[in-house]
Amino acid sequence: MKLTVTTHKLPGYRSTLKTAQRLAEEAVRVVDRAVPGRMPDVQVVLTAERHLADVTTAAEFATAECTDKRVQSRALRFEKRKARDTAGRAIPLADGGVLIVINVDQHPNEATFAITLVHELVHAMQTSRKDVRERLIAGIRNNLGIERLSRRQCREYDRCIEQEEREAYGCEYLAKRVVPSAAAA
């Protein structure tokens, strides 16, 4: 398991990056012990709301092998509309790792950052389970319009995503082990 923490178009955020690296190492250790599965290689990217859509869609295009410019521009517009409400996203990568993109504008302190980081790391652990990565990639391809799923497959996909979200929200209590002040948030 390899962990990298970087920034994307965030000048002057060196102290934030150092804090994020420290918290990410501790969060990976805590989540790896508490959640079933195997932690894949994780890339954490800190970015602002303005650039969140660029990073997430680029990763989705690479994972889904999408080269159609019309599809890419449509997906980018959609993601830009959602960016304001997004605190973080976990996206499976084609090489077997997971990209976690975190919106630094949504995190005023270490406690809220730790909660989001733990939530997204739980999603990263879920990708190591049987057939989850393939299902997530099929869902990305469906959402982009590259390869459509049947209605039955879409309902199953939505049900699994909802179940995984409940699990991730249920594990957010682990953030208080990463940052003691996270319990107050």
Provide the 10 A C-beta neighbour count for residue 100: 24
Percent of the chain residues topping a pLDDT of 90: 86
CA atoms lying within 13 Å on the CB side of residue 83: 22
Edge-first strand order for the sheet with 88-92 is 3-8, 42-47, 98-103, 88-92
Beta strands (DSSP E) in 15-162 are 42-47, 88-92, 98-103
- Residue 84's pLDDT band (cuts 50, 70, 90): confident
pTM: 0.92
Q: Rounded CA gap, 83 and 29, in Å?
A: 29
Q: Encode pLDDT of 34-83 as tens digits.
A: 999 999 999 999 999 999 999 999 999 999 999 899 999 999 999 999 98
Residues 6+ apart with CB under 8 A from 133: 92, 96, 127
**Cβ-contact 20, 8 below 8 angstroms:** no
- What is the secondary structure of 104-143 as a DSSP string? GGG-SSHHHHHHHHHHHHHHHHHTTSTTHHHHHHHHHHHH
Report how far Cα 2 is from the mean position of its chain's Cα atoms: 16
Q: Encode pLDDT of 10-26 as tens digits.
A: 888 888 899 999 999 99
Q: Which pLDDT does position 179 carry in this prediction? A: 87
Check whether 185 has a pLDDT greater than 60. no
Q: Encode pLDDT of 130-174 as tens digits.
A: 999 999 999 999 999 899 999 999 999 999 999 999 999 999 999
Opening angle at CA 81, ends 78 and 87, nearest 5? 110
Residues 6+ apart with CB under 8 A from 144: 60, 61, 64, 66, 71, 75
Q: Rounded CA gap, 57 and 71, in Å?
A: 11
